Structure 1
Amino acid sequence: MIQIETAWLLLLPIMFGIGWLASRWDLRLENRMDERERMRQQRSTFKGLSLLLNEQPDQAIETLVKIAQLDPETIELHFSLGNLFRRRGETERAIRVHQHLVNRDDLKPRDRDHAAYELGRDFLRAGLLDRAEASLNRVGSGKFAAPAKESLLEMYQIERDWKKAITAASQLEKLQGKSHQTEIAQFHCELGQEALQANDLSGAEKSIQEALGVVANHTRALILQGDYLMALGQPTQAIEAWSIVASSHPAYMHLIADRWMKAHTDLDQSAAGLERLCELLNTQASGELLDVVHKQVMNIRGLQAANTIISEVMQHSPSLSALSKLAETRLALEEGNANSERLMELKSILHLLRQRTTSLARYTCGNCGFRARRFYWQCPGCNSWEAYSPRRSEGVAPSGPSM
């Protein structure tokens, strides 16, 4: 048997003890080094924030970039600072912060996409639309793909680049799984409207058909189709297109009432056209349709017929607009009489009613409450499509903005 001396037996526990103490010492040194590193990063962070507060953004960004190189988790600090700058309107500072991140080679793809997205928002806020488009198009297919497409869609609408807006909205549908058919149909209608104004009838027809292909019997597309057919000299076909609006979307007939009457007049059918509009007054007796019908009835049927129609409207759909038209008709009927006091009374009533209806009659966005005297397909306040009610209200003015 191997003989082990007693001294070696005593030495083994001592050696194990020394090894354990050495490992604990190394761990302690490592913890101290980590603590020193954290303290150094904290001092650098405080230094960067101090430079920002002292209006030295360039040196602050350099300091914060060094922190990010030491600890990738501080990248979120850059994003927070950049967004803060953008919200405060300091877009140049925001651009510098996000530009530093975009130009780094050691970022993860997700962080690089995030930086490109934020930089695109910075450029968009600064009005640098071409640079915003380039930056947003650099965003990959990850978490920020859909927000980037939303920003591109917003930008294309600002630029009124409807073709690119259609592409962006279609891509956004695939990313979000949510329909954007309403917006796409409106973009086609915008192209059709521009083509009609440029007398590009073939281009107008193509855009109108594409809009109707996206949304069947789309109100605005049908209205434009009637305009296109009128430009071709085909009032009968135009009336057929607008008749669909009258049947399916009667609340929008006030937008085309004058053109409806012109098409019927071209066919020597003004009486039939007026009769259809009068029928619509049973359910659409507010706003501009009443104005058009009142004017046409006075021209075609005479004052007494206008008085009868407005009196009927006051029975089933009383409003300040109808009362104003009634006062206008009664004044016209009384002008042939010699009773000057009666005329002055009616003129005073009519003047007050016109002032009141002018100040109250507004179209209101159902999304943001923005109020306007004219009808918009896209709200000027929140840029939502088809958010305006086609009926003009006369109630108490809401607290929202107006124009």
Structure 2
Amino acid sequence: MIQIETGWLLLIPIFFGLGWLASRWDLRLEARQDERERLKQQRSTFKGLNLLLNEQPDQAIETLVKVAQLDPETVDLHFSLGNLFRRRGETERAIRVHQHLANREDLKPRDRDHAAYELGRDFLRAGLLDRAEASLNQVGAGKYAIPAKESLLEMYQVEKDWKKAIIAANELQGLQDKSHQLEIAQFYCEIAQEALRRADFPEAEGAIHHALSAIPNHARALILQGDFYLANERPQQAIDVWAIVARENPAYMHLVADRWMAAHHAVNQVNLGLDQLLALLKTQAIGELLDIVHKHMMQIRGAQAAEVMLVDVMQHSPTLSALSKLAETRLALAEVTGPETRVADLKSTLGLLKQRTTALARYTCGNCGFRARRFYWQCPGCNHWEAYSPRRTEGAVPSGPSM
């Protein structure tokens, strides 16, 4: 039997104690190293933020990239870097950052949804719409579900994919306490308008029906329904539908006034149609309706009747446009009966008035202030629907974009 000396047994606890002390020392050294790394990251992060505040984004990006390289697990920092790249227009770098996050298996579901959402926005910024759609559709039902659907809705409108836009708008309604019926009605109107251009009357009729279901007596849907009847040689039904517009939304009648007269001509009731438009001028004389009524008045009843009408308009709704039309009418009369000096004076007056009215702001978006000479259902500036007032304005041209 092996004999173990008592002295060796006494060395065992000593060796154990030395090992324990060594492990504690290693832990302390590791903690100190971690603390130095943490402080280094903290200083670099603060340095990057300071550079951002001092409007030095290039140096800030370099500093924050170094921090991300020191600790690849910093998810929030990677999101910040990706967004910073995108704002700087460096979409390729933003895509790489967000793709790296989206491909990580250790991400929480919320962070994975965030990465998919940000990646979709990157692709949108880069114009890669198919990839943007695929990425945004990967976002689950969480914090980023609503902004992802909003981005999809915006993208479908840019693409003019109205059927997908309707689906996205309906899904948004299910996620938030906000109605999108107005947009849905407009999307169906876009489908109907395109179908009427193609003479696809069944699709046009169905889309108009859906638009009116979304918003009963919607002005644009009723206008398109009248166009549908007129295209199918049913002028009386077109008149009946447009009469609802005249009663419920008279400010939009300038959009259909010419076709209104065409429908009345088809049923041999031109004077009745003109009288009904004249009645609307009592409240709608400011805008294009006056121009259209004046044109038909000159054609049907002559310049003298048009002059009487314009004098009446100037008494209750005086505008430069009405004054210009009055000068135009009196010039037409003077060219037949008046002396040459009066004709010359009226031509000078009319020239000045037309120059002035041409420079006036016409339609202004109530959301972004974008101005245009023609009426739009969707603002070209901010893409909001029905943001334009149907009434044409006159006066000083405000600062801001126009077309």
* Cα pair 1:45 1:67 within 8 Å, conserved: no
> What amino acid does structure 2 have at the position aligned with 1:327?
A
Pick from 67, 74, 81 the counterpart of residue 71 of structure 2: 67
> Counterpart in 2 of 1:229?
229
Once residues 394 and 47 of structure 2 are traced to their aligned partners in structure 1, the CA distance between those partners, rounded to angstroms, is 59
Work out the number of aligned pairs and report it. 378
* Cα pair 1:48 1:61 within 8 Å, conserved: no
> What amino acid does structure 2 have at the position aligned with 1:399?
S
Once residues 178 and 46 of structure 1 are traced to their aligned partners in structure 2, the CA distance between those partners, rounded to angstroms, is 40
> Counterpart in 2 of 1:244?
244
Give the secondary structure class of the aligned counterpart of 1:392: coil
- Report matched runs for 1:133-212 at 5 Å: 133-212=133-212
Q: 1:315 to 1:179 in 2, by over 3 A?
A: same
1:286 and 2:286 are equivalent in the alignment: yes
Q: 1:65 to 1:317 in 2, by over 3 A?
A: same
Give the secondary structure class of the aligned counterpart of 1:378: coil
Give the secondary structure class of the aligned counterpart of 1:104: coil
Once residues 233 and 156 of structure 2 are traced to their aligned partners in structure 1, the CA distance between those partners, rounded to angstroms, is 34
What is the Cα deviation at residue 89 of structure 1?
1.3
Once residues 249 and 272 of structure 1 are traced to their aligned partners in structure 2, the CA distance between those partners, rounded to angstroms, is 20
* Cα pair 1:44 1:67 within 8 Å, conserved: no
Q: What do you get for the CA RMSD once the two structures are aligned?
A: 2.8
What is the Cα deviation at residue 64 of structure 1?
2.1
| 1:207-252 residue CA offsets vs partner (Å, 9 max, x unmatched) | 0000000000000000000000011110000001100000000000
Once residues 396 and 242 of structure 1 are traced to their aligned partners in structure 2, the CA distance between those partners, rounded to angstroms, is 33
What is the Cα deviation at residue 42 of structure 1?
5.1
> Counterpart in 2 of 1:309?
309
Give the secondary structure class of the aligned counterpart of 1:335: helix
1:82 and 2:82 are equivalent in the alignment: yes
Q: 1:245 to 1:283 in 2, by over 3 A?
A: same
* Cα pair 1:47 1:63 within 8 Å, conserved: no
* Cα pair 1:61 1:97 within 8 Å, conserved: no
> Counterpart in 2 of 1:327?
327
* Cα pair 1:45 1:64 within 8 Å, conserved: no
List structure 1 runs of 4+ shifted beyond 6 angstroms. Answer: 21-27, 43-50, 54-57
Identity of aligned residues (%): 69
Give the secondary structure class of the aligned counterpart of 1:379: coil
| 1:27-58 residue CA offsets vs partner (Å, 9 max, x unmatched) | 865742441341464588799999x958998x
> Counterpart in 1 of 2:339?
339
Q: 1:220 to 1:34 in 2, by over 3 A?
A: same
* Cα pair 1:48 1:63 within 8 Å, conserved: no
Q: 1:303 to 1:56 in 2, by over 3 A?
A: closer
Once residues 263 and 380 of structure 2 are traced to their aligned partners in structure 1, the CA distance between those partners, rounded to angstroms, is 31
* Cα pair 2:91 2:125 within 8 Å, conserved: yes
Once residues 343 and 306 of structure 2 are traced to their aligned partners in structure 1, the CA distance between those partners, rounded to angstroms, is 18
Once residues 47 and 65 of structure 2 are traced to their aligned partners in structure 1, the CA distance between those partners, rounded to angstroms, is 11
Once residues 280 and 24 of structure 2 are traced to their aligned partners in structure 1, the CA distance between those partners, rounded to angstroms, is 92
What is the Cα deviation at residue 68 of structure 1?
2.8
Once residues 173 and 320 of structure 1 are traced to their aligned partners in structure 2, the CA distance between those partners, rounded to angstroms, is 45
Once residues 218 and 391 of structure 2 are traced to their aligned partners in structure 1, the CA distance between those partners, rounded to angstroms, is 18
Once residues 273 and 164 of structure 1 are traced to their aligned partners in structure 2, the CA distance between those partners, rounded to angstroms, is 40
Question: Unpaired runs of 5+ in structure 2?
Answer: 1-20, 52-56
> Counterpart in 1 of 2:395?
395
Give the secondary structure class of the aligned counterpart of 2:96: helix
* Cα pair 2:45 2:67 within 8 Å, conserved: yes
* Cα pair 1:310 1:322 within 8 Å, conserved: yes
> Counterpart in 2 of 1:13?
none
* Cα pair 1:166 1:184 within 8 Å, conserved: yes
Once residues 283 and 362 of structure 1 are traced to their aligned partners in structure 2, the CA distance between those partners, rounded to angstroms, is 18
Q: TM-score scaled to structure 2, two decimals?
A: 0.88
1:101 and 2:101 are equivalent in the alignment: yes
